A and B are shown apart, each in its own frame.
Chain A
Amino acid sequence: MEQKKDEKVTYPKYAPGTHVSTSDIYQKNITYSWWEPEVQYAWSLGPAYSRFLEGLKEGKILGIHCHKCKRVIVPPRSFCEYCYGPTDGWIELPDTGIIETYSVSYLDPDANRIEEPILIGVIDIDGADEHHGFMHYFGEMSKDEIKIGMKVKAVWKPEDEREGSITDIKYFKPLRGGE
């Protein structure tokens, strides 16, 4: 069947809605209401995350095996999402890896602009399966130097400052020859 074309009419035929700008709110040109929620959370982290964070406090990156998938997983979890069985035992991994991907960010968490960029990315941790790792900052390298595939090593906080958090690692630095 030949398509019935009506080039005189473009759908949607009209475009309802009324545009207002941010300044309309700040200058009270429109009627609005305001709400600032205050809410706090404390999450219990379960056996896998808890052990992982305890490991970080000791300066260790802990992974976990799935024997059925023959996979070394980091970050660790209690069960394997693919074969859907329980995971099989802990393994200490080196605190080195390669940069899987990265970004050079001029945005802070609230999308405010910042002068000095944040180097951020995913580290594919040595000893774990390919493409297995976690997100972290990079340091001791410039935005021109950073590249995918670069070998990196964790820089840890001093032991007495660690609190069982992903931030017990300060950042990952380039792994230079001889280290």
Chain B
Amino acid sequence: MKKDVAVIGGGMTIFRRRLKETGKELSFLAAKMAMEDAGIQKDDIDMIVMGTAPDAFDGIHMKGENLLDGAAGAGKPYVRVFNGGGTGVFAPIAGWWHVASGVADVCLVVAEEKMGSCYPHPQTAFQHIWDPVLDRPLHPNLVWLFAMEMNRYMTVHGIKKEDIARVAVKNKRNAVGHPCAQLADPNITVDDVLNSEMMAWPVQRLDISPPSDGAAALLFCSEDVVRQYTDDPVWVGGVGWNIDSTMWTNRDLYFPRYVAHAAKMAYKMAGIVNPRKEIDFAEPYDPFDYKELHHMEGLLLCDKGEAPILTREGVTQRDGDMPICPSGGLLGVGNPIAATMGQKVCELYWQLAGKAGKRQIPTNPRVGVGQAWGDIMQMATVMVLKR
């Protein structure tokens, strides 16, 4: 018998290029905040899910075990889940199924990343994710992947770079209301993005989110016990995930069809027939500005090639008809890979609970969708929250 699952608490640390605290300590800080938010003690937590991405960044192999004490995992049923950049939404999906299956009444989800430990730059560790036969002998830089996908997307639809730059401007401005933000900027303009350093055409410095350290946490609880913690719960409406072939040079990169598959799975579970009408706001994964647009299309929130137009028309602003990344996203708040759960799912919870304060969407939202993306341009994870 499947249980309905509520979100009853959220927490996150500041996101910065480098933090003094260890990964365990960051996990502890984020988890403690979520537990205070829900009014819950370690003894009340049945099971724990840890989400954390490539071991090579921290330099600690099997780092799930290294982090578990910080995530309140000692002496508990504990599991680490990991699918690259998709982890930020996959970890809460795993938390959901712990509770939905009935095996746990309360499940704590902690997501942690420390990218600052890898010297001289986490890019060096990214070299180890490429295919050893086809790709590595060419000494690729990870930014190349996104540059090639962005170029394909722009060329197929005839999209101008300035229409993509508007995403970076919006998100870095939205992040001004976020206490944890790394790159909030109230004064940034489209020209600033277009004039920033060229890294790998068409990707420029301000098109990219920064590498970051940070942690986030969420508490999920069963319908059976939720009234002990809140009178006004936020519910998980649906979850979906999907992964396409790793042979990324055998796919047309202009459209992320695996995102559409994951979205359809989540919408079906949530009873959403017309996502454009029934979803009030979204937190699509935005490690690059074009990715927000690509993912809006993958999430079926608009037609293929239409997302830049909606952005230009202001539809995706916090006070627009379809606010996108009201948290400030990865571009504004930062990108500690798995810990972006803080923007992609904690933000849905804070917005729907009316707790987003300076970032609050003014139109009383009732349904939000969050999404993450990862591996070699192939993994999508989607979660719908509703009031």
A81–B243 Cα distance when bound, in Å, is: 12
0/1 string, B127-156, CB within 8 A of A gives 1: 100001111011111011001110110010
Interface assignment of A160: CB less than 8 Å from any CB of chain B: no
Name B355's contact: one of A9, A101, A148 (CB within 8 Å).
A9
From A14-22, A86-94, A151-159, the one touching the partner chain is A14-22
Q: How far is the CB of B326 from chain A (nearest CB, A)?
A: 12
In the complex the two chains form, is A17's CB within 8 Å of B29's CB? Answer: yes
Residues on B lying within 8 angstroms of A by beta carbon are: 10-14, 16-21, 26, 29-30, 33, 37, 59, 120-121, 123-124, 127, 132-135, 137-141, 143-144, 147-149, 151-152, 155, 177, 179-180, 197-203, 213-214, 232, 245, 247, 249-253, 346, 350, 353-360, 364, 387
In the complex the two chains form, is B138's CB within 8 Å of A137's CB? Answer: yes
Name A110's contact: one of B37, B121, B387 (CB within 8 Å).
B121
In the complex the two chains form, is A120's CB within 8 Å of B152's CB? Answer: no
Take A16-B29, A17-B26, A105-B141 as given contacts and tell me if A81 and B247 are in contact as well, using a CB distance cutoff of 8 Å.
yes
A167–B134 Cα distance when bound, in Å, is: 9
Which residues of chain B are within 8 angstroms of A127 by Cβ–Cβ distance? none
Take A103-B151, A104-B200, A106-B200 as given contacts and tell me if A17 and B138 are in contact as well, using a CB distance cutoff of 8 Å.
no
A4–B16 Cα distance when bound, in Å, is: 32
A137–B138 Cα distance when bound, in Å, is: 8
Interface assignment of A57: CB less than 8 Å from any CB of chain B: no
Name A3's contact: one of B17, B251, B387 (CB within 8 Å).
B387
A19–B137 Cα distance when bound, in Å, is: 37
| Chain B residue at smallest Cβ distance from A50 | B133
Interface assignment of A62: CB less than 8 Å from any CB of chain B: no
Residue contacts A-B, CB under 8 angstroms, 28 given: A7-B357, A16-B13, A17-B16, A17-B19, A17-B20, A17-B26, A17-B29, A20-B20, A30-B20, A75-B134, A75-B247, A77-B247, A82-B245, A100-B252, A101-B151, A101-B155, A102-B151, A103-B143, A104-B200, A104-B201, A109-B124, A109-B127, A110-B124, A117-B201, A130-B252, A131-B251, A132-B249, A143-B201
Which residues of chain A are within 8 angstroms of B135 by Cβ–Cβ distance? 135, 166
A57–B198 Cα distance when bound, in Å, is: 36
| Chain B residue at smallest Cβ distance from A5 | B354
In the complex the two chains form, is A22's CB within 8 Å of B21's CB? Answer: no
Which residues of chain B are within 8 angstroms of A20 by Cβ–Cβ distance? 18-20
Number of A residues contacting the other chain (C-beta, 8 Å)? 67
0/1 string, A6-36, CB within 8 A of B gives 1: 1111111111111111101100001000010
Which residues of chain B are within 8 angstroms of A135 by Cβ–Cβ distance? 134-135, 138, 140, 148, 249
0/1 string, A61-82, CB within 8 A of B gives 1: 0000000000001010100011
Take A22-B18, A75-B134 as given contacts and tell me if A109 and B140 are in contact as well, using a CB distance cutoff of 8 Å.
yes
In the complex the two chains form, is A11's CB within 8 Å of B355's CB? Answer: yes
Which residues of chain B are within 8 angstroms of A108 by Cβ–Cβ distance? 139, 141
Name A166's contact: one of B138, B356, B358, B387 (CB within 8 Å).
B138
- Sort A-B residue pairs by CB-CB distance and give the 10 closest, nearest first: A10-B357, A103-B147, A111-B123, A104-B201, A105-B200, A17-B14, A18-B20, A17-B13, A15-B179, A101-B152
A10–B33 Cα distance when bound, in Å, is: 14
In the complex the two chains form, is B232's CB within 8 Å of A133's CB? Answer: no
In the complex the two chains form, is A167's CB within 8 Å of B138's CB? Answer: yes
| Chain B residue at smallest Cβ distance from A128 | B250
In the complex the two chains form, is A10's CB within 8 Å of B29's CB? Answer: no
In the complex the two chains form, is B180's CB within 8 Å of A1's CB? Answer: no
Take A105-B143, A166-B133 as given contacts and tell me if A3 and B138 are in contact as well, using a CB distance cutoff of 8 Å.
no
A82–B253 Cα distance when bound, in Å, is: 18
Q: How far is the CB of B67 from chain A (nearest CB, A)?
A: 16
Which residues of chain B are within 8 angstroms of A30 by Cβ–Cβ distance? 20
Given contacts A120-B144, A167-B137, 15 further A-B contacts (CB under 8 A): A11-B350, A12-B10, A12-B179, A16-B33, A17-B19, A18-B20, A18-B21, A19-B19, A24-B18, A73-B250, A75-B134, A101-B151, A102-B151, A105-B200, A111-B141
Take A7-B357, A101-B253, A135-B140 as given contacts and tell me if A106 and B199 are in contact as well, using a CB distance cutoff of 8 Å.
yes
A1–B33 Cα distance when bound, in Å, is: 27
Which residues of chain A are within 8 angstroms of B11 by Cβ–Cβ distance? 12
Q: How far is the CB of B5 from chain A (nearest CB, A)?
A: 19
In the complex the two chains form, is A15's CB within 8 Å of B14's CB? Answer: yes
Which residues of chain B are within 8 angstroms of A103 by Cβ–Cβ distance? 143-144, 147-148, 151, 200-203
Which residues of chain A are within 8 angstroms of B201 by Cβ–Cβ distance? 103-105, 117, 143
Q: How far is the CB of B298 from chain A (nearest CB, A)?
A: 17
| Chain B residue at smallest Cβ distance from A131 | B252
In the complex the two chains form, is A8's CB within 8 Å of B357's CB? Answer: yes
Which residues of chain A are within 8 angstroms of B213 by Cβ–Cβ distance? 17
Which residues of chain B are within 8 angstroms of A167 by Cβ–Cβ distance? 137-138
Name B149's contact: one of A2, A13, A101 (CB within 8 Å).
A101
Which residues of chain B are within 8 angstroms of A1 by Cβ–Cβ distance? 232, 387
Q: How far is the CB of B72 from chain A (nearest CB, A)?
A: 16
Interface assignment of A177: CB less than 8 Å from any CB of chain B: no
Which residues of chain B are within 8 angstroms of A101 by Cβ–Cβ distance? 148-149, 151-152, 155, 253
| Chain B residue at smallest Cβ distance from A122 | B249
Name B180's contact: one of A15, A100, A131, A134 (CB within 8 Å).
A15
